[in-house]
Structure 1
Amino acid sequence: SGKLKFKAGLGYKKISKALNIPLSTVQAIIQKWKEYGTTVTLPRQGRPPKLTGRTRRALIRNAAKRPMVTLDELQRSTTQVGESVHRTTISRALHKVGLYGRVAIRKTPLLTQRHKKARLQFAKMYLSKPQSFWENLLVLVDPGTGPIAILESGRNFFPSAAN
């Protein structure tokens, strides 16, 4: 009916008053008709999101509350709600709000007892050496792997480090 009035030459204001609908609605409908030749609701673009807003907010709350929670745990919590989503989807949702680094904690200590004993033995062995001894050392270092060898006056000082 609004379309017919527009075709008849009536302006936006007159159509708006005649049909008792807002002027902006009349403008939008006529614009749609001019562009697409129809006034029916067109199909939306793009794929609908897998995570609903409610579940996404719950995930973010959960991850912020417990920083060490794993993606697998978060995935299980979404499955309980009834939305099964991939770990990558959860990771993306967290990254969008600035939550990064869902990494499991280290399972093994950096220094084992054997390392500690070896370090202590090394320290005790060279504790009494004078300052001049340390000044005559030459350390060969590989930027990628660390010290290769420690040389003292032409002989290998620390053979276990040499390759």
Structure 2
Amino acid sequence: MNSSKYQVILAQNIQASVRKLKMKFTFQNDNDPKHTSKSTKAWLYQKKINVLGWPSQSPDLNPIEHLRGNLKRAVYRRCPRNLTDLECFCKEEWANIATSKCAMLIDSYPKRLSAVIKSKGASTKY
């Protein structure tokens, strides 16, 4: 994926999500080149989207990464034999992730972020 495709995905999804949240937010992404490109930065600036500064090589605190880890382990336990199994198991296991798990990851974010700040970007227990 390149920065142009990333911006299309943002345009299709971020503003609808913001309308549902009905609150002020700060957008977080990592230091992937498509996230830090001049065009993506300009797009975010133009849309007045506040972006959290993110030091390179810092721990990945994005809640979706934790969910992906859970998904990967759940799918691995089911031992997919082919691509069809893999796709099916991924969809089933994704649907089985409890909303309470998502809420817990969001609720714990301030603690995790504080731990990273305290460790000056080094690893944490999270």
Q: After TM superposition, is the score higher than 0.5?
A: no
Which has more radius of gyration? 1
Identify the structure with bigger relative contact order (alpha carbons < 8 Å, sequence gap 6+): 2
Q: Could you say which structure has the higher strand fraction?
A: 1
- TM-score normalised to structure 2 length: 0.24
